[in-house]
Structure 1
Amino acid sequence: MTGPDSAGKEKKQRNGAPDYGLCLVVLILAGFGLVVLYSTSAWNGQVKFADPAYYLKKQLLATSLGLAAMYAVSCIDFRRWKNLAVPGYLISLVLQAAVLFFGDEYNGSKRWLSIGPLSFQPSEFAKVAVIVLLARVISGRGKKIVTLWQMLGVMLPTLPLVGLVGTNNLSTAIIIMGIAVILIFVASPGYLRFVFIGAGGAGFLAVFLSLESYRLERLAIWRHPEAYEKGYQTMQGLYAIGSGGLFGVGFGGSLQKLGFVPEAQNDMIFSIVCEEFGLVGAVLLMLLFVLLVWRLYSIALHVQDLFGCLVVTGIMGHILIQVILNIAVVTNTIPNTGITLPFVSYGGTSVLFLLSEMGLALNISRSHPHGEHGIC
């Protein structure tokens, strides 16, 4: 029997304070990203658009919209998104299919849709759609994913979207698949099955890479970037990292951003961070991402709702995968795949949806009683 006191307690838990630690880390990352972006993109902006603040203005607008979206989403009960999981996923499929037929192509990649003067990347929305959909599917099963067939059944809905995204954006397809694997891993009690999934994934990736000669060429460039013309960007990025030393050349002092690292404000922005702020600055930035992941982990650990726990876990997986892959690409640890650094790289759609995800995590953080372990 539920009395007034228990009802009041439930309401208090539902309307508790958000995770201010998470909010602070997100604001610091967003602010740092704008500062670094201006330093990195000023030369390109001046040369291409006669405006050194061109990229900063566009990113500042997207960040402002993202912060507004973060606040709005943080005020909406996260359970309401469960009913929008399937429609959101279907919309994502339609948008991704539209890219194939009506998409805009930039730098050889067709990833954008334009509506009047505005353009956006549907693949960024696809990441959020997959997180919410799989959280609903897994929570509907009561976290009962025991057999390999059950695991494959949960992953099956994501495959059409992964296929559509992968036709023109392999890196995002890998991120979406990684998010799915992380959520299934959290929901599955065993570990041995993931060995078979990993082996199958590696085999599929090997076949996929061998189907196109340019993908095999990318592997060769990764091994010996100095021997290929297309390894120029990688080499210049490594020069930037090396020239930064321990403390860097100082804010605004990068030479590699002056046209040596092509489109430095995008995927390779971490190399400019290393050049201007040195190893110390790069480590501090990575620690900020560690703090962000830790706060998300803490929320997932304590939330009492399985759907909410899985949503935060998916968001955490998204951030973790993208940061690791971007830094690995810039340092030439893995082949170049064109992955942006969250909150730092230039990209309005990316920062808008990332901040929206943070708003969702903040709302979920309001629902758990502090000091108690959650259902995950």
Structure 2
Amino acid sequence: MIKKMFKHYDYTLIVSILLLCAFGLVMVYSSSMVWAVMRFGYPSDFFFKKQAVWLAVSVLAFFVTMLFPYKAYKKFMVIFLLGSIFSLLVVLILGKTSNNATSWIEIAGFTFQPAEFVKLGLIIYLAAIYSKKQSYISHFTRGALPPLLIIGFIFGLVVIQPDLGTAMIIAATSGVVILCSGMKWQHILMLLLIGGTVISVVFFNLSDEQLSRFTGAYNPFSDPENSGYHLINSYLAIASGGLTGQGLGQSIQKYGFLPEPHTDFIMAVIAEELGFFGVVFVIGLLGYIVFKGFVTGIRCKETFGSLLAIGISGMVGIQTVINLGAVTGMLPITGVTLPFISYGGSSLLLLMISMGILVNISTFVNMRRKQQKTAEKQTSAEEVPFISNRFSRN
């Protein structure tokens, strides 16, 4: 079976994922070496070494999940759901606070962010539950409502950390899965109205510090020393890059001017050092991964696999849009990292596990398509002698 799978892997997808990871590791070193020394007094390769360890673990997880049949996840959907809720409750009780958010758990010196893994757990749950409810998906209270209540509960647990960026990704990704689940358009429109109301309530209850992020995004020069400081320095980094950039390692903005250059604003450093071509390289590969994921979801004839592939692709695409939106001032800064590129072990591990699942779905889709083509050829070959025999008898 494994030999058969090797023949049907989508190697362009695999290479794109690994290329982004390798490029991300290089850019983490370039963007963090000054920050590590100036801000923390660490060696210049401190963040690079930590990311390299996480990358090694993540690549191993990627290859393991590539081989693990995706249909098996459907059997454990309740475990994934309960594990997600439990981890978020643990964060509220024992979580570590960083940057005014209690989103982390520290174990044996390693910190990880449970909300990252909740994103995948919720996608698996939604794909499984909506694939089971296909026969009555048009019945709102019976088919659609129960999972929506769970989404709302998980969304609330993430919001109160507070981690609005991850909460936005969870809500938007869930919306993508729901949109493709077969639910009636009337119900989807009603959910959009409810979602808009919830977002409005959340917005009007934001703290002054959170509201300042909107000012910083849409009018940064009104407060250049405080709320607009991040975005203005991001603009300077992007503008100075031009077409080809200042050269790898030659960023000026990472010398204390650009906050979090190795996480939230790593794309600004890429633009400054590698220019327009570096930005196109990253966005092109990310876009290709998302595109291949949606194509896989459309081609998959099994509802669970289709919704799972679409959910994973939507998650990567939405996270990319939110990060790039913050870097360019199109969206408020929410602390969302750039997939595969930014520093962050939890995010990288989650993404690589998700990609392993996506590659596995793609492999089974390719195997099925090959079997169908073989069957069609055999049918055509059997029909030709039959036709020729009829003509010969005449």
* Shared fold per TM-score greater than 0.5: yes
In the TM superposition, what is the alpha-carbon distance from 1:243 to its structure 2 partner?
1.2
Report the TM-score, using the length of structure 2 for normalisation.
0.87
Residue 24 of structure 2 is aligned to residue 33 of structure 1: yes
1:1-376 matches, within 5 Å, as 17-47=8-38, 48-142=40-134, 144-146=136-138, 148-149=140-141, 150-168=143-161, 169-188=163-182, 190-214=184-208, 215-228=210-223, 229-368=226-365, 369-370=368-369
How far apart, CA to CA, are the structure 2 residues paired with 1:370 and 1:247? 42
Q: Whole-Å Cα distance in 2 between the matches of residues 13 and 164 of structure 1?
A: 43
Deviations 1:344-376 (CA, angstroms, capped at 9, x unpaired): 111001101100111111111221223679xxx
Give, as a single letter, the amino acid of the residue that structure 2 aligns with 1:128: L
Deviations 1:31-78 (A, max 9, x none): 110111111011112232431111111111111100100111111111
- String of CA shifts for 1:206-245, please: whole Å, max 9, x gaps: 2211113423333233222122212211111111111112
Distance 1:161 1:92 in 2: 8
Q: Does the 8 Å contact 1:237/1:261 carry over to 2?
A: yes
- Residue type matched to 1:365 in 2? S
Question: Using the alignment, how far apart are the partners of 1:204 and 1:308 within structure 2?
Answer: 30
- Give yes or no for contact 1:37–1:344 (8 Å, CA) kept in 2: yes
* Deviations 1:310-331, CA, capped at 9 Å, x for gaps: 1111100100100011101110
CA–CA separation in structure 2 for the residues paired with 1:81 and 1:281: 37
Asked whether the 8 Å contact 2:177–2:307 carries over to 1, the reply is yes
| SS of residue in 1 equivalent to 2:97 | strand
The answer (yes or no) to whether the contact 1:269–1:345 under 8 Å persists in 2 is yes
Residues 210 and 216 of structure 1 are in contact (CA less than 8 Å); yes or no, is this contact kept in structure 2? no
Q: Structure 1, residues 118-147: CA drift from partner, whole Å, max 9, x if none?
A: 211000110010010001101101275335
Unaligned runs of 5+ residues in structure 2 are: 374-394
User: Which residue of 2 is the match for residue 4 of structure 1?
Assistant: none
Instruction: Report deviation, 1:193.
Output: 4.0
In structure 1, distance between residues paired with 2:279 and 2:136? 41
**Is the Cα–Cα contact under 8 Å of residues 144 and 187 in structure 1 kept in the other structure?**
no
CA separation of 1:143 and 1:115: change in aligned 2, threshold 3 A: farther
Question: What CA distance in whole angstroms lies between the structure 2 residues aligned with 1:12 and 1:143?
Answer: 36
Larger displacement relative to structure 2 (201-210 or 51-60): 201-210
| Identical amino acids, percent of aligned pairs | 31
Structure with greater helix percent: 2
Aligned length: 364
Asked whether the equivalents of residues 212 and 227 of structure 2 are also in contact (C-alpha less than 8 Å), the reply is no
Cα separation, partners in 2 of 1:15 and 1:77, compared to 1, 3 Å: farther
Are the counterparts in 1 of residues 144 and 183 from structure 2 also a CA contact under 8 Å? Answer: no
> What amino acid does structure 2 have at the position aligned with 1:242?
A
Separation in 2 of the partners of 1:143 and 1:366? 27
Distance 1:362 1:220 in 2: 41
Please, what is the CA RMSD of the aligned residues?
A: 2.1
- Deviation of 1:192 after TM superposition, in Å, equals 4.9
Contact 1:39 1:252 in 2 (8 A): yes
Name the residue aligned to 2:382.
none
The answer to whether the 8 Å contact 2:217/2:326 transfers is: no
Contact 1:143/1:188 (<8 A) preserved: no
Q: TM-score, normalised by structure 1?
A: 0.91
Tell me, yes or no, if the aligned pair for 2:216 and 2:229 is still in contact at 8 Å: no
Amino acid at match of 1:225: P
Aligned to 2:384: none
After superposing the two structures, state which structure 1 stretch, 15-24 or 49-58, moved more: 15-24
Larger Rg: 2
